[in-house]
Structure 1
Amino acid sequence: MDRWPGDRGSRVLTASDTAALQQLARDELPGLYGLARHLAGPNEAEDLVQEALLRACESFGSLREHRAGARWLRVILTNVWRDRVRKETRTAREVPVDDVEAFSLYRVLVDEDPYPYSDTLHLDFLGAFTDGDVDTVLLRLPPRYRAPLVLRYVEGFATRQIAQLLELPLGTVLSQLHRGRKLFERAMWDYADECGFVARRDAARSV
């Protein structure tokens, strides 16, 4: 028998348990890194995944159906991240939440017209963002809005599942998703403006 992936007081696993968990981890590792990167950023992603796998080892007996292993690992990783967020004494730069309801990315793109003569204005705007840019924008959102967005639109969790995972009322999750989308749109525009992805109309007039 064995202990995997580390010895931190985890229960002793049978050989079949070890093989099953190792295979599950290998299969899901890319997806776990992606989730960790969206939630915590590239600098913390590897450490977050390692801690999640340690917790998975300790609680592997709670996994009743191995076919549910992918989602089970994502739940564990999200909980590891939530525990860390609770301990943080300061946050990284965040997009302001005031007056976010009044912001519309659609209207701003139409008004500013950053890609003159384009017939695919919104696609051109989105196409300027790399995966790394999207991660940077996500990290500007307060954690309470970032997590529901990532779980819903990246990982495909249903809203009721998100409510259970985050231990929140369903109405709160729906509200966070709505406000989170607004915040994400605002953060995308601000980031694009900072990085020079868009040529603003007022800047063009001053030339």
Structure 2
Amino acid sequence: MQEALLAIYRGLRTLREPAAFFGWVRSVTVREAVRTVKRLNDGTTYSPVEARHDSNPLDRVHINDVLERLSTPHREVLTLRAWGLNEEEMAETLHLPLGTVRSRLHRARRCFEEAWYPSAAA
């Protein structure tokens, strides 16, 4: 916990988006926890199932943070796409024309990508 608090204090000046403060704190805390576990772990603490899990634990924090910053229409189409709906089903669910759903989905993906990779947009 102390390592996380120190990292938050040291990195506070690098926070660019004040609205994303809580997501940023979670991200820093998870990153520091992972670093601490890696530093202290001898490899026997995790079960084989957990050891095979390849995804980055920070992704879940970042995805929620990025989605919260998107507009409601963009968040809606991305969420429906994640639930497996195709464009026609999204149009029916949202009571929108198919072309509107397609353009919204395109813009939502672009906005999500710009927020996910902020250095690429700069």
Q: Which has the higher helix share?
A: 2
Decide which structure has the larger Cα Rg and report it.
Answer: 1
TM-score by length of 1: 0.30
